[in-house]
Chain A
Amino acid sequence: MSEVLENINPKLYEKLDDRLITIDDENEDVVDEFDSREIFDLIRNINDPEHPLTLEELHVVEQSLIKVDNKKNTVMVNFTPTIPHCSMATIIGLSIRVQLLRALPSRFKVNVEVSPGTHNAESAVNKQLADKERVAAALENSHLIQVINQCITEK
């Protein structure tokens, strides 16, 4: 990571309360379908690569920007870089992708994209994150996977 922080003073946001466990959640006979809250809980505590803060605290990820379609097995996550020229955008997106790749059943197709209009290299970042071959190659890079694992590991 660079010595100089790109975004010196990021805006901070409140954390969401823990999910309330309902009776249905504990009933084994009721099928719990994946919902946006569940996906959010999987990625909210990913650490920002430069700040000792979570993606939730920086509003990089928000529950309202997650779409789940259980029938089509698709998950769409939009994330919002803290600044439009954030050089960490790809690594943040990759961390979200890796976390969901590991946590979700393999039937899910996960798309991770920059929230429209929030980054000046939006389409290039999106294209790279959508290219599973490049993602696979990146995950064989021991340095990169170390950085990603550091982001993903809850502090």
Chain B
Amino acid sequence: MRPPVILKTTTSLLDSSSSSPPCDRRLNTLARHFLPQMASHDSISASPTSASDSVFNHLVRAPEDPILGVTVAYNKDPSPVKLNLGVGAYRTEEGKPLVLNVVRRVEQQLINDVSRNKEYIPIVGLADFNKLSAKLIFGADSPAIQDNRVTTVQCLSGTGSLRVGGEFLAKHYHQRTIYLPTPTWGNHPKVFNLAGLSVKTYRYYAPATRGLDFQGLLEDLGSAPSGSIVLLHACAHNPTGVDPTLEQWEQIRQLIRSKALLPFFDSAYQGFASGSLDADAQPVRLFVADGGELLVAQSYAKNLGLYGERVGALSIVCKSADVASRVESQLKLVIRPMYSSPPIHGASIVAAILKDRNLFNDWTIELKAMADRIISMRQELFDALCSRGTPGDWSHIIKQIGMFTFTGLNAEQVSFMTKEFHIYMTSDGRISMAGLSSKTVPLLADAIHAAVTRVV
């Protein structure tokens, strides 16, 4: 959405000595940009130092990112017992960022290897990384891989993968509508709108049960036009934490295939959700197994803790190897004018880990530890609320999956918790379980109890 144009005017007297042909032409240039708004203003200064002289004067400041705003407010709070539950990254029991041991070891190996250089990698990324990423999400025995029906390109984490996939579909797919669940990650609509797709929604979360609105989901997708693109969170739905069961996934798959909809999976939490890479990939594999086509965006930000290295992959499963080859050639033409080729460092780390059996095993151990810690936080929070006799059904806390929990708290309750208990979360009641520890669970439980008993 383009911000409204605001034209500032000055009431100072026109200084004729500052007028000059170049300045007049410059003002004419600016005036052409403001023509629709000119009528509402009395005058415009001719001074070359006036702000209205600038090509950027009509910009307004962009809105603050709401999630970032939570962290900014948290950082400003002087209280020693403050708690940041807005953060979108994993934290240890001590509240610190975590670099996995396996990542440290590989990074050291790469740096010690003087035979490695920093050359451009192909537009589609590192070949090893792409092959191994496809194996990770589809399974080593996947028939789609064995038939060469998969094309995988390295992208800038999950966001970059979604954006490349979105631009590719806008260019080459016959339908330009993508259905997003309600709610979904805040960046999804922006990614796809700017990619050239139009965004519609389907029901997903049921506030009344704090679970899945399965019937609403089936109805909405059932009435989507044939060929529409459907965005699906593979696991650990963001922001609600609500996932379909496998039985529900099977029904979703049948509906999507029978209606000839195109599934686009966002898999940002494989392994991080349940602790099992294979279990978390099951919904995607269900779709691949039926031989149909689909897209998957993968991220290694959470499951390998490579947040800032920006490692991700976009895979497109096609009907034949020939189609997959043509798809890849066109994907290159989407990527090259965006950033030419992807960054080498993070992908090298991932490829080394996925390639080496011992490193891979070490990774799965550390990955499970992260997932287990989050699962135990959910249980501890649930237990703490029960022991306080907090009103309401809080079982959704242990049913929801992944980093985020949609608590069901309303904006007033959230605001109360921030003011009275210095607990920071987004106003929709989403909390990041990663920000909790055994030491801070009681504080949060106290705050929730106070909020639901004192703020309606």
Q: Do A and B come from one complex?
A: no
